[in-house]
Amino acid sequence: MRSRFAQFGWTWGLAATFCSAGMTASASAASLTPIAGFGGGDGWRAPFEVIAGDVEGTTAPHPTTSDPIYRFLGNGLAVGVDPASSVNAGNLERGMAYNPVSGNLLVVSRNAPNGGNIRILNGTTGADIGSLNQTNVTGGNFTMNMIGVADDGAIYLSNLSTNLTSSAYKIYRWENEQAAPTVVYNSTGSDVLAAARLGDSFDVYGSGLNTQMVAGYGVSTTIAGTNGFVKFGTTDGVSFTSSNVAIAPAVDPLVTPASGEFQYGITFKDSDTIIGKSRANPATVVDVSGTTGTVVDQQGTDGISMRLLDFAVVDGKPLLATLEASGGTGPSKPRVMIYDMSNPALPLADRKIAEASALTAALGPNANAAGQIKFGAIDGKTATIYAMSTNNGIQAFTLSLEEPVVNDADFNGDGVVDGADFLTWQTGFGLSGQADKSTGDADGDGNVNDADLAIWNTQFGTTTTPPAAVSSVPEPATLAIAAMGVAGLAAWRRKK
């Protein structure tokens, strides 16, 4: 019969290099909690919802859903309204951004009347407090579609062109929320692909002279190069030039992106690294040098419908926020998922740190898989996250990072994992709720069980006191204790 030593997978000769800095840690974890004060108290500004603080409208003393300006963020079905009679029949809000200077949200609504199509929402409550000046914002298949804000509070709006040959792609800039817009980019005669679609995705990075923008091409079966994107830069802070970024053939096992790879989601990871998402493929990470993009990683998420992206560093951790945008005609309940990108090689389950939805039930379809997710204010280990899946309102969450649990089987704290620690685990086996490391809980879950024995088994014979280069080898007496304990384990557990 196989010995218990072989069964637990360790040998007498085990002597590994191990110090406290190398203790094994569980995957990062975080909580994602709807912000109670946002959107009427549930963390969600629902389609057509009117909340305290909304200031515009024709109904006194407070706006109602009869005011056209508030018939937005949905498709009518969300509140039982016949879509045919609704001012907003759906799919009319796709762009949303967070202003780090004002703390407000900016939402592009092609529905809102009287030139108030870029709504300003209070970032804390979600209340509608007005709109941007839209003087001379013209052109494009959609005159306004996506929006972004630089670190200095400058606001950038892009239109949507479904054919760059017949309709120019334009970007507008507001110095702040009170300013009038200026055109800072017009694709006429610029370095973009003729006849391509541009403007479904958009992101802004940096500030001032270091401001950059990026937009993804749409899918095309006939236009070469639409598997890339366009970057925009400036030398004066008020006008921008474009660079068409072509994707170099990927090196196995990575796959060269297909047409429209950056159409549905796009975000800067840093000034020269872009993450993009297509309708059907994993997220693609590209390093940019000049006008060439090199695929450096392709990251799966929880299903291809996690299409909308934003990246930020929170408490030193690089995080990718994703929002579900399912497409199709069925109802949807968009979920937000957060991934820790510290080690992209880890399995998906280890990279995912949080998931939530503020919606209590599935709502209208997001037929175009459109919308936007954005990190808001970041403070230490916490961050605000806003998520707008088209036709399903805006959700707001507080993301709180949790300290990773360090697996530690040195139960008596003497600096070495040995037979004495096994005896501690043996004595505490079966404890729950009140258990801690001193009673044999190696993984910090509050229970003393086989998982803790497995950690002890892995760490046996190692020191936990830095900076020793190699661990001490257990004394013969210690090994004897461990051997006797393991050999008698089966009989002891039958008696428990």
Q: DSSP strand E in 380-491: where?
A: 382-389, 394-402
In sequence order, which residues have a C-beta less than 8 Å from that of residue 364 and are 6 or more positions away? 47, 74, 75, 76, 77, 78, 90, 331, 332, 391, 392
Q: Which two tokens stand for residue 220?
A: 């095309």
Q: What is the CATH number of the domain that holds 427?
A: 1.10.1330.10
Q: Are residue 376 and residue 340 in the same domain, yes or no? A: yes
Collapsing DSSP states into helix, strand and coil, what is residue 164? coil
Q: Which of 313-317, 400-404, 420-424 comes out lowest in average pLDDT?
A: 400-404
Q: Are residue 422 and residue 390 in the same domain, yes or no? A: no
pLDDT of residue 304: 87
Confidence of residue 4 (pLDDT cuts 50, 70, 90): very low
Of 402, 437, 458, the residue that ends a domain is: 402
pLDDT of residue 61: 65
pLDDT digits (tens, 9 = 90+) for 217-234: 999 999 999 999 999 999
- The average pLDDT across 339-364 equals 89
Q: Are residue 17 and residue 117 in the same domain, yes or no? A: no
Q: Which domain holds residue 390?
A: 30-402
pLDDT digits (tens, 9 = 90+) for 137-150: 998 899 999 999 99
Q: Are residue 429 and residue 485 in the same domain, yes or no? A: yes
Q: Are residue 422 and residue 381 in the same domain, yes or no? A: no
Q: Are residue 253 and residue 391 in the same domain, yes or no? A: yes
Q: Are residue 253 and residue 316 in the same domain, yes or no? A: yes
Percent of the chain having pLDDT more than 70? 81
Percent of the chain having pLDDT more than 90? 61
Collapsing DSSP states into helix, strand and coil, what is residue 425? helix
pLDDT at 466 over 60: no
Q: What is the CATH number of the domain that holds 340?
A: 2.120.10.30
Of 402, 428, 448, the residue that ends a domain is: 402
Mean residue pLDDT of the chain comes to 84
Q: Are residue 92 and residue 19 in the same domain, yes or no? A: no
Collapsing DSSP states into helix, strand and coil, what is residue 382? strand
- The average pLDDT across 349-360 equals 92
- The average pLDDT across 239-249 equals 97
In sequence order, which residues have a C-beta less than 8 Å from that of residue 210 and are 6 or more positions away? 271
pLDDT of residue 392: 87
Q: Are residue 283 and residue 368 in the same domain, yes or no? A: yes
- The average pLDDT across 392-398 equals 95
Of 345, 374, 402, the residue that ends a domain is: 402
Q: Are residue 166 and residue 195 in the same domain, yes or no? A: yes
> Are residues 3 and 486 in contact, defined by beta-carbon separation less than 8 angstroms?
no
pLDDT at 80 over 70: no
Q: Are residue 160 and residue 287 in the same domain, yes or no? A: yes
Burial (CB count <10 Å: 0-12, 13-18, 19+), residue 476: exposed
- The average pLDDT across 145-158 equals 98
Element (H, E) at 302: none
Count the domains in the chain: 2
Helices 419-428, 476-487: crossing angle, 10 deg rounding: 30
pLDDT of residue 488: 52
Hey, which of 45-54, 283-292, 409-418, 443-452 has the most confident mean pLDDT? Answer: 283-292
Both ends of the chain: CA-CA distance in Å?
A: 24
Q: Are residue 410 and residue 391 in the same domain, yes or no? A: no
Q: Which of 77-81, 338-342, 379-383 comes out lowest in average pLDDT?
A: 77-81
pLDDT of residue 329: 75
pLDDT of residue 65: 67
